[in-house]
Chains A and B, each alone.
Chain A
């Protein structure tokens, strides 16, 4: 992957190219061995005026004429691309498949980037009315506070933990630790969410390479098996959901993924979850089954999700600390889990990590992808 951040020196194609070259060097494959490419990017049209990203990426990576397809599922574009590549390899249609995720977000003013991201919700019945993404997650947070007694300090604890992890990740956008006070004193964006409850606008790309397990074992010394990758959908508008205090698509995708992997939440050592806002991580650890519903805030405050806790959540720094180039996030999660399971996560390594999970959400919860990974050497 590339370093995440505000990167004025590089554009859309430079970012994905850099991540792609690093991924191929890591597995020692040459371009001629790659059979297909999937790439997640949410809003390249609105952000850099570039559609048809599949062909563009194959072109600039020197991979034409392989089939190259862009996938879009808002902030879950990367996770959906990963799953699509997994399905393709599992089906036997292709063996060596490259999965990329990329977003170049800082070439436009913040208001334009926000407008582009707004398209992840219901344009006619949320955005038209004046909704923003922090606003939608604030509506969830308010309800979570009422129903379960979750506090603003507990939400702040998510940001503090994720910044602490990001500070140990050289690829992260923010490499500074913060305190509960930093979050609590930051400006209100959509009450009760403040600036430090929100993930940033980020440039970045990430790439992984998939192959059938037996082949992967011959290609690299430390292959990671994807034991499950499941996806679910729900209503596009938040107001049509059964509940504001959970992401039902996450629950469904997680249940199917655990069933397919024949594993349970307690088996997971390390997880990258979708913390686009602090309340989102609290709901995610509940919906994935790591803690009981309503206990996500307290678990975070008590340190259960820190490195060395019950289950290490967002060791990369998450979307909050590592940054959130929307289309790249789902693939970056797979990269971080791979590093963790290979024991290469440096200062943020989870000791003895053998099984990991990645959880990627699109919009306010209309798409969720849950993938489970295992060390197999």
Chain B
């Protein structure tokens, strides 16, 4: 389904550069950003935090049957990455085959095109990860 310009626009800080949040009360890091710390709730105090984009593979798969919009990418390696700050995110892995990947492999964030709506439609950008070899 096509995404509206407003959704794309308001997600730019998070999608383009992994801007997350931190709770000063418990030191918990969150991505995507949360306005309420789920541990401290109203006792928590939230501030923005820029994640480094460095992390390691927590689990991975190769998607052979893609959702619509990702047909040209398939098959693609897809992973949950644990960032150095302790937060986990879901993203594609680029420039690698599944055989190159192990749980624990070191990765870094890269900025890539995620999807495009149609020939004349919006291009959606965001983060993917690459193996640090």
Q: Which residues of A contact B (CB under 8 A)?
A: 111-112, 114-115, 118, 124-132, 134-135, 138-140, 142-143, 146, 187-193, 237-240, 244
Residues of chain A lying within 8 A (CB to CB) of residue B64? 187-191
Complex CA distance for A140 and B80, rounded to whole angstroms: 10
Q: Which residues of B contact A (CB under 8 A)?
A: 1, 3, 7, 11, 32, 58-68, 70, 73, 76, 78-80, 88-92, 98, 103, 114-115, 124, 126
Taking a contact as CB atoms closer than 8 A, the residue among A131, A138, A192 that contacts B90 in the complex is A131
Residues of chain A lying within 8 A (CB to CB) of residue B60? 139, 142
Docked-complex contact B126 and A115, CB < 8 angstroms: no
Docked-complex contact A129 and B66, CB < 8 angstroms: no
Docked-complex contact A244 and B59, CB < 8 angstroms: yes
Taking a contact as CB atoms closer than 8 A, the residue among A125, A126, A190 that contacts B62 in the complex is A190
Complex CA distance for A139 and B61, rounded to whole angstroms: 6
Given contacts A187-B64, A190-B65, contact A128 B114 (CB under 8 A): yes
Docked-complex contact A125 and B76, CB < 8 angstroms: no
**Most-contacted residue by chain A among B1, B3, B64, B68 (CB, 10 A):** B64
Complex A-B: 18 CB contacts under 8 Å: A111-B68, A124-B32, A125-B32, A128-B3, A128-B124, A129-B78, A129-B91, A129-B114, A130-B66, A130-B67, A130-B73, A135-B63, A188-B64, A191-B62, A237-B90, A238-B90, A244-B58, A244-B59
Docked-complex contact A125 and B89, CB < 8 angstroms: yes
Complex CA distance for A244 and B58, rounded to whole angstroms: 9
Docked-complex contact B61 and A142, CB < 8 angstroms: yes
Docked-complex contact B68 and A126, CB < 8 angstroms: no
**Most-contacted residue by chain B among A115, A125, A239 (CB, 10 A):** A239
Taking a contact as CB atoms closer than 8 A, the residue among B3, B68, B88, B89 that contacts A115 in the complex is B68
Complex CA distance for A65 and B71, rounded to whole angstroms: 47
B72 nearest CB across to chain A (Å): 11
Taking a contact as CB atoms closer than 8 A, the residue among A125, A135, A240 that contacts B78 in the complex is A135
B94 nearest CB across to chain A (Å): 12
**Most-contacted residue by chain A among B7, B11, B63, B103 (CB, 10 A):** B63
Docked-complex contact A138 and B61, CB < 8 angstroms: yes
What 8 pairs across the A-B complex have the smallest Cβ distances? A138-B61, A239-B88, A139-B59, A143-B59, A191-B62, A111-B68, A190-B61, A130-B70
B76 nearest CB across to chain A (Å): 7
Docked-complex contact B67 and A115, CB < 8 angstroms: yes
Residues of chain A lying within 8 A (CB to CB) of residue B124? 128
Complex CA distance for A135 and B60, rounded to whole angstroms: 9
> In the complex, what residue of chain A is closest to B76 when comparing beta carbons?
A130
Complex CA distance for A187 and B59, rounded to whole angstroms: 21
Residues of chain A lying within 8 A (CB to CB) of residue B11? 124
Residues of chain B lying within 8 A (CB to CB) of residue A188? 62, 64
Residues of chain A lying within 8 A (CB to CB) of residue B70? 130
Complex CA distance for A150 and B32, rounded to whole angstroms: 32
B82 nearest CB across to chain A (Å): 9
Q: Apart from A132-B66, A190-B63, A193-B61, what are 5 other A-B pairs with CB-CB below 8 Å? A: A128-B3, A128-B126, A130-B76, A187-B64, A189-B65
Residues of chain A lying within 8 A (CB to CB) of residue B78? 129-131, 135, 139, 190
Residues of chain B lying within 8 A (CB to CB) of residue A244? 58-59, 80
Residues of chain B lying within 8 A (CB to CB) of residue A115? 1, 67-68
Complex CA distance for A126 and B90, rounded to whole angstroms: 6
Docked-complex contact A114 and B90, CB < 8 angstroms: no
Docked-complex contact A111 and B67, CB < 8 angstroms: yes
Docked-complex contact B65 and A134, CB < 8 angstroms: yes
Complex CA distance for A193 and B65, rounded to whole angstroms: 11
A246 nearest CB across to chain B (Å): 14
Docked-complex contact A132 and B63, CB < 8 angstroms: yes
> In the complex, what residue of chain A is closest to B79 when comparing beta carbons?
A139
Residues of chain A lying within 8 A (CB to CB) of residue B32? 124-125
Given contacts A139-B60, A238-B80, contact A125 B67 (CB under 8 A): no
> In the complex, what residue of chain A is closest to B65 when comparing beta carbons?
A189
